[in-house]
Amino acid sequence: MRKKLLKIMPAYSWKMTALLLGANYAAYFGTRVLTAGRKHYSMACLLDRKIPLVPFFVLFYLLAYVQWIVGFVMIGRDSRETVFRVFSGELMAKGIAMACFLLLPTTMAPLRPGAGTLQSGDIWCRLTALVYRLDAPDNLFPSIHCLESWVCFRGALKLKRAPVWYPRAMLAVTLLVFASTVLVRQHVLADIAGGVAAAEIGMAMAGRLPYRGGKE
């Protein structure tokens, strides 16, 4: 098993990936323990209330998970410095997200329809209802979905070992993920901006970290 994993990414990339998964769990799920019972705020603006619910876009919301796997594997297979810069930026962005979740608990409840109202619809309605049941309408600002997809795109721009078309494909998927977050009413527009901002700040901070190099 170890040999198979090392064919996908080197050991140092797997170690960083495990650290990122732990940070993601702490930021998204751990903070809920601390904010339970506190007042949650809606950041919806007038435009958010005019955006229609389009259940078909749940397809892109769910495909984001595939994008993240592909994106982080591609980064993990690149140079050690690329892994260090991008994964460190992602880790710092998660720290920013955690701080936001704790300082400003947010909710989507006022704009999200009940899961039961979608159960009698087509496959996209039923998938949207499933997402609603599995994902509580809180911890929204910044959007982790948008943060992760943006990091995958920004990481794609840094790759030394990727096809020319790859960054463009990552950008196209990222924009579809952004659209999906509001069209299935998982997030509001401010959450998208927050996700991009957190990712950019994290990447900028990581860019200032000293890099001592190491064997590939």
- Phi-psi category of 138—alpha, beta or left, where left has phi over 0 and alpha has psi -120 to 50? beta
CA-to-CA distance for 65 and 1, rounded, in angstroms? 23
**Does pLDDT of 102 surpass 60?**
yes
Task: Count Cα neighbours of 37 within 13 Å in the Cβ-side half-sphere.
Answer: 2
**Does pLDDT of 215 surpass 60?**
no
pLDDT tens across 56-81, in order? 999 999 999 999 999 999 999 998 99
CA-to-CA distance for 56 and 68, rounded, in angstroms? 20
**How confident is the model over 31-43, as a mean pLDDT?**
91
Least confident of 22-36, 103-117, 134-148: 103-117
**Does pLDDT of 115 surpass 80?**
no
Determine whether 35 is exposed, middle or buried from the number of CB atoms within 10 Å of its CB (0-12, 13-18, 19+): middle
Strand partners of residue 138: 107
12 token code pair: 């140092």
**Does pLDDT of 28 surpass 70?**
yes
Cis upstream peptide for 105 (omega within 30°): no
